[in-house]
């Protein structure tokens, strides 16, 4: 199984695959770099759309309620010492709904911490619901310059049966880098597993055996698609 997500998520997914009796080929296609994050004024909660945002959140803000997009991000936040953690168990739409249930517009601003260029629609939805939103960049991603050697070797040797993709950004990087490393027909026996419809659409330019999309954007649902 090819695992394309960045660290530390790649190792966590590889461990889950090992429990299921599968062998992971870890080949991160993005490098995540935290950015210093500053917030001002009275805040009532922190919202994160990815676990990659957590390292940038300063200690004084970790006492605030943290609303995470999914269960994996929530578990990572709890392990990192955030006191009160809630999971939307879904996507950005589910996160907005969770914020509307747990927070009140008059109780203070919401801090939305995410990746560079991400979170715009979520911030707009929250503002339309009456919330003040401080949108901050907590990390930036850098795409790999070439397909990792482990991935290229596994494809050339016909060792892969599936490739897991957790974001559309990662999928687009893979689509760009693959032809530079191996012939695209190396994918004809490989099934692509996509976390969402957007990820699946990004993978369509390549000749996969099949593209399967998780019914719910969680790692657990993605792993149910394993061939």
What are 183-217's pLDDT values in tens digits? 999 999 999 999 989 999 999 999 999 999 999 88
Domain coverage including residue 8: 2-29+144-223
Residue 40 has pLDDT above 80, yes or no: no
pLDDT of residue 8: 80
The verdict on 66 and 148 lying in the same domain is: no
pLDDT at 71: 86
Residue by residue, DSSP assigns 64-94 as S-EEESSHHHHHHHHHTT-SSEEE-SS-HHH
Q: Which residue, 81, 89, 92, 91, is CA-closest to 57?
A: 81
Three-state SS at 6: coil
Q: What is the pLDDT of residues 128-163, one digit of tens each?
A: 999 999 999 999 889 999 999 999 999 999 999 999
Residue 216: per-residue pLDDT = 85
* Residue 21 near residue 134, CB atoms below 8 Å: no
Tokens 């676990």 belong to which residue?
A: 51
Point out the domain boundary residue: 82, 109, 141. 141
Domain boundary residue, one of 85, 109, 141: 141
pLDDT reading at 41 higher than 90: no
Between CA 24 and CA 14 the distance in angstroms is 5
> How many domains does one find in the chain?
2
Task: Provide the pairing of β-strand 133-143 with 30-34.
Answer: antiparallel
Please identify, among 141, 173, 194, the residue that sits at the C-terminal boundary of a domain: 141
- CATH number of the CATH domain containing 20: 3.40.50.10090
What's the predicted TM-score (pTM) here? 0.81
Residue-level pLDDT at 77: 93
| pLDDT value of position 90 | 83
Same domain, 21 and 43: no
Cβ neighbours of residue 153 closer than 8 Å, sequence gap 6 or more: none
41 and 64 within one domain: yes
Do both 131 and 46 map to the same domain? yes
**Residue 123: beta bridge partners?**
none
In percent, the amount of the chain with pLDDT more than 90 equals 76
Give the pLDDT confidence score for residue 36 in this predicted structure: 84
């Amino acid at each position: 199984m090819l695992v394309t997500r960045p660290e530390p998520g790649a190792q966590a997914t590889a461990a889950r695959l090992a429990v299921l009796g599968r062998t992971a080929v870890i080949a991160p296609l993005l490098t995540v770099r935290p950015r210093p994050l500053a917030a001002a004024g009275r805040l009532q909660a922190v919202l994160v759309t990815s676990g990659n945002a957590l390292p940038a959140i300063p200690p004084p803000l970790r006492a605030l309620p943290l609303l995470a997009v999914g269960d994996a991000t929530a578990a990572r936040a709890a392990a990192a010492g955030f006191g009160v953690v809630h999971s939307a168990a879904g996507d950005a739409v589910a996160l907005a709904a969770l914020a509307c249930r747990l927070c009140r517009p008059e109780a203070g601003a919401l801090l939305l911490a995410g990746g560079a260029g991400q979170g715009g629609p979520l911030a707009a939805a929250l503002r339309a619901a009456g919330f003040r939103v401080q949108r901050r960049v907590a990390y930036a991603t850098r795409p790999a310059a070439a397909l990792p050697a482990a991935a290229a070797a596994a494809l050339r040797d016909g060792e892969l049966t599936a490739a897991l993709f957790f974001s559309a950004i990662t999928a687009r990087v893979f689509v760009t880098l693959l032809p530079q490393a191996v012939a695209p027909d190396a994918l004809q026996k490989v099934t692509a597993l996509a976390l969402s419809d957007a990820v699946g659409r990004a993978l369509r330019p390549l000749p996969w055996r099949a593209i399967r999309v998780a019914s719910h954007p969680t790692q657990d649902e993605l792993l149910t698609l394993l061939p």
